[in-house]
Homo-oligomer: A and B are copies of this chain.
Amino acid sequence: VGAGLTRADIVVAARNLMNEHGVEWLTMRRLAEHLGVKAGAIYWHFANKDEICVDVVDAIEADLDWSAATTGAPRERLVAHIECLRAHWQQNPSAVALGRRFRPTAAGRFTEAGQQLLIDMGLPADEAVEQWRALIWMVIGFFYVEDGVRHSTHHHPIEGEPGRYHVDVDDRRSLLDTGSLFARVVTLALDGLDAAVARARAGERP
């Protein structure tokens, strides 16, 4: 009876289920059950599970919108640019674990816009490419650590306060606020970029 299932159906279901229950939760059989079909049926549309994950990563990436980051000084626009990425990954939690395997670093027009912002800040074009790479590795790396914390036995989420954790380590308990920590990381990086801009303006080659 046929044609009830499309590639798009499978990708949409996989994306939603992963965002809701986590990447590890989703198996071929669960995905199939959700689609009202047997696991083998999916293999007529996709060669394997990885191929589905690649399409999910593509779909999530296509939804990334950074149009908010178009006003203010270059440094403020860059901060807004980065915060768009953070907001996007918070809305698509599975993108972190998925991207780690299938697209470890950002690319495409988001990267081009980011590099342009670094040029606007005063970096020469070739250095802007390198500094962007360093910046985005920091930011994406932060997301990976945050994702690890989410599954850690040492970190206990505080109910009602997303992004805040009690941390138990070496018999001491401390508090972790990933939101303010992220702001601190961005400040460190951008202050470092300001220094690089100052060096570039002074005509040095670091």
Partner of A189, one of B107, B108, B189: B189
Q: A107-B170, A108-B170, A191-B196 given as contacts; is B138 within 8 A of A102 (CB)?
A: no
Partner of A195, one of B133, B142, B191: B191
Q: A-side binding surface: helix, strand, loop or mixed?
A: helix
For A103, the chain B residues whose CB sits under 8 A away are: 152, 154
Partner of A153, one of B100, B102, B135, B141: B102
> A179 an interface residue at 8 Å Cβ cutoff?
no
Tally of A interface residues using CB under 8 Å: 46
B145 touches A145 (CB 8 A): no
For A191, the chain B residues whose CB sits under 8 A away are: 191-192, 195-196
B138 touches A185 (CB 8 A): yes
Closest residue of chain B to A137 (Cβ to Cβ) is: B145
A195 touches B194 (CB 8 A): yes
Q: Which of A167-181 contact B (CB under 8 A)?
A: 169-170, 176, 181
For A170, the chain B residues whose CB sits under 8 A away are: 107-108
A185→B152 CA distance, assembly (Å): 26
Partner of A137, one of B155, B185, B206: B185
> A187 an interface residue at 8 Å Cβ cutoff?
yes
A193→B195 CA distance, assembly (Å): 11
State the A residues within 8 Å of B (CB).
99-105, 107-108, 130-131, 133-135, 137-138, 140-145, 148-149, 151-155, 169-170, 176, 181, 184-185, 187-196, 206
18 CB < 8 A contacts A-B: A102-B153, A130-B184, A133-B176, A134-B188, A135-B188, A137-B142, A137-B145, A138-B189, A140-B141, A140-B145, A141-B143, A141-B145, A187-B206, A188-B193, A191-B191, A191-B192, A192-B192, A192-B195
